[in-house]
Structure 1
């Protein structure tokens, strides 16, 4: 006596419920319900078009699937762990609705190409949402940068004051990072926009199917040319997780700096109350929790990438049950990065920038030392010699607890008679920024060019 499973003809006994639960994926792959129904509709329409199914049977299946789709939209569809996955659940529901003719839906296909198709569709439908959120974030960055072209702040290397820069320049650096993220996700679309439907279990089918027709019905740009590859390929998911990991790394770096900039030690910026929280014991606290959460969530996205890479690393062709582990990490990553982008965008669009604090930080340091070295070099002193001279001068100033601009012209001339009164202008932070007018530099002119180009790019 066979089991109750739709595939149970070869089996003579049922598995225990706890075994069924372990093997089932319906708890998470029901997120692909709409995609599974759409895939089945495309498949049955192809079966009808090719004459593999007669019109009456095909129309009955189509009507049943459309009703199931409506029930899902209404929230009345109930799934059963006994039916393992979303594909068997939909087929079981369809069978109860229209009878044995539902079994004809599976003609010329397998769950192997069915699940691959669902997975492609799921990601294909979500990548544009992610890209759109990135565009929204870029627009916010452009607006902030435009408002802060002439806002001066310290630039850092090794977290030490290095040279003064424009805050607008700083923001446009992250704009460029997110631009590359968009490029990666758009390239990811190319490998996601391929239809596995019709590859069947691994070797294709004997039925005269039309894979190009079903691909067109689903909006796919092309079909897999090899049936083995079609059912076993998860490169598109790995690319997505890799791209998402890089994106989260960019967000995490930004959030790390936000967490520093809002601290008492810096006070460069202040976050809106909407994106901060307080302390249950310390009344004065205003914690950058949303920035910290986004920074923390980068770890789970990295974990999802490493998880799928590890799952895939030793899999023989073609389909293996291990591939059931391909989806949860992707679903979780989609659920993580879209809200992270929304929250991050809201957080920085409502940021308060303490321009005076930023500027003061560039006056009370030695980040203008390179200006003096460049000045001496422009007078004919070899740069290495100029570098050594200024280094000794900085040490002297540190010992005297003064800044370079506090030295008298006489003290400057004791170093070199080539130094003139114009050195005090040269040492001003805003002049240091303005003078860096090389392509991609931090000068106001260069930042405005970056912003103009960015506006063209996102139109």
Structure 2
């Protein structure tokens, strides 16, 4: 906690130093050192503004800027002397600056507080992290679109309640996740836009009496505007909450796709095979090929949601303005982004290399009376039956086929006419899984024609063509 000569950065009020345990619980350097470059950037902008406003001499600003250059060089080269007793990255940077340039470093903190300094750095870091996560999501979308384009006509079973429902195409199934991820990407970019207001200059909580120019610092740091209320500026963490909420929703989508990969690669399904890059074995069972990457994504999605809930719990009962409870906001946010980005990269790798098995998918789609709806639709379209009556006729035929141990297409025409005499031989034309998928030509449907259109549109949107 000392900066030399027995002084702490805030110690004028105190006669004794904190206990070792207090120092341990209070220190955050191990976490917030990740914001070192953001802290230097904020200090640069603040010093330039102070000089422009005549609060800081141009000579002192030149010394500060040169000192910050040296600090940044040390940070990037890995030679910066981090000192844990200085609590956090902000005090570390300021103390190192003083060691390099001397007295002018003490003037840098004029008209600001650690409260607005910390949250400015945090917003800068989160803005960058959101952009990076959105980019990774876009990369996963691109791989899904590429694989969907390879399988516009590959038939697989569509499920509800994990029971065979209707035939769909694999391309259609993969594009469903592209749509989900598109919304996720929008949430991430929207969050970055909303957080893009600058707290710097709010000082501790009430603003400052110095004639500062907050528009200047906001512009220098790439913010759209300064925050309008100093109390809100230093205490608000809804930008981090929103970011973790968006990550939690996106991670849930990754988890759903991971679960499908776990199912599809099991021998019971046999729809796909993960390459050796994305599989592990068993220490005792030589035959095992485990989809551990997918399983870990399922688990880590819960960790991201847990971090969102933890931050929400920390913030929900805090009065204005700042409280030390907020120190853990960065740990929770950093870990959530790290976990999400790792999961997204892993999922992108799995999707790019997974080996699909169209024959197994097609065979599974043909089981479970998946064309029953097509039969009902034919009765409505060709015989003019009300749908509810057609549903009843079809249900009766399904029960008959089930009793015989056959599929609908295996029933004889006589069997069908025994249930409804108007049925003709033409009904068999709609009872294949291919015919079923081909018929779903409504916008957003699973028809290969529609899937190919969507693939082309997504390739254009994602810059793949």
User: TM-score range, shorter-chain basis?
Assistant: over 0.9
Q: 1:313-328 residue pairs with structure 2 within 5 A?
A: 313-328=316-331
Query: 2:226 maps to what in 1?
Result: 223
Query: 1:372 maps to what in 2?
Result: 375
Judge which range, 403-412 or 415-424, deviates more.
415-424
Pick from 186, 191, 194 the counterpart of residue 191 of structure 1.
194
Q: 1:63-82 residue pairs with structure 2 within 5 A?
A: 63-82=66-85
Query: 1:150 maps to what in 2?
Result: 153
- 2:124 aligned with 1:121: yes
Aligned length: 458
Query: 2:88 maps to what in 1?
Result: 85
Query: 1:434 maps to what in 2?
Result: 438
Q: 1:120-139 residue pairs with structure 2 within 5 A?
A: 120-139=123-142
Residue 357 of structure 1: how far off its partner (Å): 0.4
CA distance in 1, matches of 2:6, 2:384: 91
**Are 2:235 and 2:320, in contact at CA under 8 Å, matched by a contact in 1?**
yes
- Deviating beyond 4 angstroms after TM superposition, the runs of 4 or more aligned structure 1 residues are none
Query: 2:244 maps to what in 1?
Result: 241
Query: 2:262 maps to what in 1?
Result: 259
Q: Report SS of the residue matched to 1:422.
A: helix
Pick from 377, 391, 397 the counterpart of residue 393 of structure 1.
397
Residue 3 of structure 1: how far off its partner (Å): 6.2
**Are 1:276 and 1:288, in contact at CA under 8 Å, matched by a contact in 2?**
yes
**Are 2:397 and 2:416, in contact at CA under 8 Å, matched by a contact in 1?**
no
CA distance in 2, matches of 1:102, 1:17: 28
Pick from 8, 21, 27 the counterpart of residue 11 of structure 2.
8
Query: 1:415 maps to what in 2?
Result: 419
Deviations for 1:45-64, whole angstroms, at most 9, x for unmatched residues? 11111111111111111111
CA distance in 1, matches of 2:260, 2:431: 26
Residue 450 of structure 1: how far off its partner (Å): 1.8
Q: Report SS of the residue matched to 1:106.
A: coil
Residue 455 of structure 1: how far off its partner (Å): 2.5
Residue 34 of structure 1: how far off its partner (Å): 0.6
Query: 1:205 maps to what in 2?
Result: 208
**Are 1:3 and 1:11, in contact at CA under 8 Å, matched by a contact in 2?**
no
CA distance in 2, matches of 1:171, 1:280: 33
Judge which range, 161-170 or 98-107, deviates more.
98-107
- 2:38 aligned with 1:38: no
Residue 195 of structure 1: how far off its partner (Å): 0.8
Deviations for 1:343-370, whole angstroms, at most 9, x for unmatched residues? 1111111011100000011223211111
CA distance in 2, matches of 1:10, 1:179: 53
Q: Report SS of the residue matched to 1:165.
A: strand
CA distance in 2, matches of 1:37, 1:215: 15
**Are 1:61 and 1:102, in contact at CA under 8 Å, matched by a contact in 2?**
yes
CA distance in 1, matches of 2:37, 2:244: 22
Query: 1:446 maps to what in 2?
Result: 450
Q: Report SS of the residue matched to 1:162.
A: strand
Q: What is the RMSD of the two structures over their aligned residues, measured on CA atoms? A: 1.2
- 2:387 aligned with 1:383: yes
Query: 1:457 maps to what in 2?
Result: 461
Query: 2:406 maps to what in 1?
Result: 402
CA distance in 2, matches of 1:360, 1:252: 26
- 2:297 aligned with 1:294: yes
Deviations for 1:269-317, whole angstroms, at most 9, x for unmatched residues? 1111100101100000000011111111001101110001001101111
- 2:362 aligned with 1:359: yes
CA distance in 1, matches of 2:379, 2:219: 68
Pick from 101, 113, 130 the counterpart of residue 110 of structure 1.
113
Residue 239 of structure 1: how far off its partner (Å): 0.6
**Are 1:3 and 1:14, in contact at CA under 8 Å, matched by a contact in 2?**
no
